[in-house]
Amino acid sequence: MRRRREERLGRPNTPAAAAGLAGMLLLAGCGLGDADGGGDRPPAARPADIDCARQGRVPGSGSTAQENAMKYWIKQYQQACPPVRIAYNPLGSGAGVRQFMQNTTAFGGTDTPVDPREDTPDEGVCERGRVINLPMVGGAVAIGYNVPGVDDLVLDAATIARIFDSRITTWDNPAIRKLNPGIELPSLPIRAVHRQDESGTTQNFQAYLAGAAPDVWSYPAEKAWQGKGGDSAPGSTAVASAVEETAGAVGYFELSFAEARRLKTVRIDTGASAPVAATAQTSSAGIAAATVVGKGEDLTLEFDYRTSADGTYPIVLVSYEIVCDKGNAPETLPALKSFLTYTASDEGQKPLAGIHYVPLPEAVAAEVIRVVSTLS
């Protein structure tokens, strides 16, 4: 079963709203923090690598899956372009889309693209234009777990679906034992943790469950959690913390959050010759195998969650920035275009593997840069 991911570009803002709220979001967002994705730090970008805007304040909010990438990008960009201030508040994809549509931000981050035919912004946003989605960063949705004494755990799609729907409730369940021969699994209650807020990570995870185990997971792939029971936490950071702190817990979040806390993650039995771990390399294979189904400037991707190709991790996502193709605020437009051109460039994309993300395929990144250049 396949899931669509659209991409576009642009941002709707009236001048007064953009200028007034930028400073407020700079205080609330993560514009000055270090990326906490774990692993080696990627090399700093050289000022010469970035075509800086002269000035501007650009507020954004949204996806927590791209939070650590945004921290890195903002730090490098502002070191190279000190007159410009970029802010990103990781409130979740749902909140990011709402704030953008309400003219609160210059761009929104979402792990699920908006549908320009259904998602219409408030009056005065994207005047003479429309909201579009720009793919900006790829990643794996890792399944982190905390089972004392178990350092390697294999699950398949059907078993994962039953765990997150409260139909498998202890770690020594026969279905889990069958997938892990020779592993001593404790008779420990499972604490499945899902996102409390509306989340593109949730939507992508549920799309995987529905696509890979349709006979087990019959719920729609919504941003709001659909399964029965379980615990909840707001944002990827809180879900990862809950798993880290709770024996028997299991949860889903972007791979960088698992690496930052050195959490153990599930290898997935996809039917390939060996179970597949979530890594930058295996998720890159999953994203590269996606099909572009969008027309024109729409770079919608469609994933095959039932893939059994060797070394291909099946729970992947592409995180987008939403902007306006026309009608962007004049005060923020030059800095917005400069920043997004940098994030999609080689200088912005190549270091992402060092913080456990997946760079965009070169052809997609080049198309993003082309569309950014046309924003008005």
Could you give the C-alpha distances from 337 to 361, 371, 372, in angstroms and in order? Answer: 20, 10, 6
pLDDT tens for each residue of 77-119: 999 999 999 999 999 988 999 999 999 999 999 988 888 677 7
205's torsion region: left (phi>0), alpha (psi -120 to 50) or beta? alpha
Chain Cα centroid distance, residue 354: 16
- The answer to whether the beta carbons of residues 196 and 254 sit under 8 Å apart is no
The CATH number, out of the four listed (3.40.50.150, 3.40.190.10, 3.40.1230.10, 3.50.50.60), of the domain defined by the range 2-137+293-300+319-373: 3.40.190.10
Kindly state the average pLDDT of the residues 231-239: 95
The dihedral built from the CA positions of residue 160, 164, 167 and 172, taken in this order, carries a sign that is positive
pLDDT tens for each residue of 274-319: 999 999 889 988 888 887 776 556 677 788 899 999 999 999 999 9
How far apart are the C-alpha atoms of 282 and 138, rounded to whole Å? 12
How far apart are the C-alpha atoms of 354 and 344, rounded to whole Å? 16
How far apart are the C-alpha atoms of 25 and 228, rounded to whole Å? 35
How far apart are the C-alpha atoms of 343 and 137, rounded to whole Å? 9
- The answer to whether the beta carbons of residues 309 and 268 sit under 8 Å apart is no
* 141-287 has the same fold as 2-137+293-300+319-373: yes
> What pLDDT, on a 0 to 100 scale, did the predictor assign at position 29?
39
Listed residue (80, 73, 88, 62) closest to 35, CA to CA: 73
Alpha-carbon dihedral angle through residues 224, 228, 233, 237, given to the nearest 10 degrees = -80
Q: In the chain, where are the structural domains located?
A: 2-137+293-300+319-373, 141-287
Type of residue at 7: E
Describe the chain by its helix, strand, coil percentages, rounded to 5.
Answer: 35, 20, 45
How far apart are the C-alpha atoms of 83 and 73, rounded to whole Å? 16
How far apart are the C-alpha atoms of 273 and 301, rounded to whole Å? 26
Percent of the chain, pLDDT > 70? Answer: 85
Q: What is the mean pLDDT of the chain?
A: 86
Q: What does DSSP assign to residue 351? A: G
Q: Is the pLDDT of residue 11 over 60?
A: no
Bridge partners (DSSP) listed for residue 265:
144
- The answer to whether the beta carbons of residues 301 and 4 sit under 8 Å apart is yes
For Cα atoms 325, 236, 13, give the angle at the middle one, nearest 5 degrees. 20
Strands 264-265 and 131-145 come out as antiparallel
Chain Cα centroid distance, residue 235: 11
pLDDT tens for each residue of 51-77: 999 899 999 999 988 999 999 999 999
Least confident residue range of 31-45, 165-179, 238-252, 312-326 = 31-45
pLDDT tens for each residue of 138-186: 989 999 999 999 999 999 999 999 999 999 999 999 999 999 999 999 9
How far apart are the C-alpha atoms of 53 and 228, rounded to whole Å? 49
Tell me the CATH architecture of domain 141-287: 3-Layer(aba) Sandwich (3.40)
Q: H or E segment at 55?
A: none
137 by DSSP, 3-state: which? Answer: strand
Percent of the chain, pLDDT > 90? Answer: 64
> What pLDDT, on a 0 to 100 scale, did the predictor assign at position 206?
97
Kindly state the average pLDDT of the residues 326-330: 92
pLDDT tens for each residue of 345-356: 999 999 998 888
How far apart are the C-alpha atoms of 33 and 90, rounded to whole Å? 12
Cβ burial of 353 (10 Å; 0-12, 13-18, 19+) is: middle
How far apart are the C-alpha atoms of 318 and 139, rounded to whole Å? 6
